[in-house]
Amino acid sequence: MNVPISASSAPLSPNKRAPRTLKVGGITPFTATDYPGKLAAVVFVQGCPLRCGYCHNPHLQPRTAASPLQWSRVLSLLARRVGLIDAVVFSGGEPTIDPALEDAIRAVRELGFAVGLHTAGVYPERFGTVLPLLDWVGLDIKAPFAQYEEITALAGSGAQARACAELLVQSGIDYECRTTMHPALLAEPALLEIAHTLAGLGVRNYVLQNFRGQGCKDAHLNACTGGSYPSSALVSRIGAMFEQFTLR
């Protein structure tokens, strides 16, 4: 039985730090689509510094003072799902924003789950720290790195994403890099440029995913979709650059 110890009665030694607590905005207890080939739960971490127009979870962008969902409760729920699911995916928001991510990943690993991460590659340093603890990563590549700010509204975000892509390729960990396509945001030459750059970095698994309006609050983006974008010729050309390629 775990007995809570108050800070006043049992101060931590200088070599120990208090466990940090993940700020969780929500959880999906069961999904078959967020970790390739595995049944998983998804933990949505609060907070994201980017402002992508097509964001499905804008309510997760701010970090509130109090966590909407206690991490201890989430961990208890996950413990009850041992044997029912294979993996836990940390998503968001942007999960690498949270200083408690590493501790949370370790706690989930101790339960015996494989661990996945959905990230937009915003914090290369923390990403590099948690990478060795992960089994699979889904890394969003939002634009040609030099034009990132046009989608994310955050200066310097392209360089951060590139650094994360390089770390990921070097890590040997299973992954996919994926780009959300929208004709008003990424013209076909931009899609081609992204693919060339990623292939040059050594990315082997690339996904082009169509924009979905679900959860998106941008009326303009929701109104202008479809047509012949992306052309089948472009998709074939991009697909040929990668060992594994998916259009979804």
How far apart are the C-alpha atoms of 242 and 82, rounded to whole Å? 35
Smaller CB distance to ligand SF4: residue 34 or 94?
Answer: 94
How far apart are the C-alpha atoms of 68 and 125, rounded to whole Å? 26
215 Rama class: left (phi>0) / alpha (psi -120 to 50) / beta = left
User: Cβ(179)–Cβ(191) under 8 Å?
Assistant: yes
Smaller CB distance to ligand SF4: residue 25 or 107?
Answer: 25
**Binding residue count for ligand SF4, defined by CB under 6 A:** 11
Sole window of 19-27, 92-100, 129-137, 167-175 interacting with ligand SF4 (rule: CB under 6 A):
92-100
**Least gap, CB of 118 to ligand SF4 (angstroms):** 8
**Least gap, CB of 94 to ligand SF4 (angstroms):** 5
How far apart are the C-alpha atoms of 152 and 156, rounded to whole Å? 10
Smaller CB distance to ligand SF4: residue 107 or 123?
Answer: 123
Work out which of 42, 120, 134, 238 binds ligand SF4, going by CB under 6 A.
120
Work out which of 25, 26, 92, 230 binds ligand SF4, going by CB under 6 A.
92
Asked if 195 touches ligand SF4 (CB under 6 A), the answer is no
**Least gap, CB of 24 to ligand SF4 (angstroms):** 14
User: Cβ(141)–Cβ(195) under 8 Å?
Assistant: no
Smaller CB distance to ligand SF4: residue 28 or 204?
Answer: 28
**Least gap, CB of 1 to ligand SF4 (angstroms):** 38
**Least gap, CB of 97 to ligand SF4 (angstroms):** 9
Q: What is the DSSP string of 139-197?
A: EE--S-GGGTHHHH--TTHHHHHHHHHHHHHHHT-EEEEEEEE-TTT--HHHHHHHHHH
Smaller CB distance to ligand SF4: residue 39 or 55?
Answer: 55
**Least gap, CB of 51 to ligand SF4 (angstroms):** 6
3-state secondary structure of 214: coil
Window 25-64: contact mask with ligand SF4 (x via CB under 6 A): -----------------------x-xxx--x-x---x---
- Residue 199 is inside which H or E element, if any? helix 188-201
Instruction: Say if strands 87-91 and 244-247 run parallel, antiparallel, or are unpaired.
Output: unpaired
Q: Which two tokens stand for residue 207?
A: 């996904």
Work out which of 24, 35, 78, 94 binds ligand SF4, going by CB under 6 A.
94
| DSSP conformation class of 202 | T
Quickly count: other Cβ atoms within 10 Å of residue 100's Cβ.
17
- The binding site for ligand SF4 (CB under 6 A) comprises 48, 50-52, 55, 57, 61, 92-94, 120
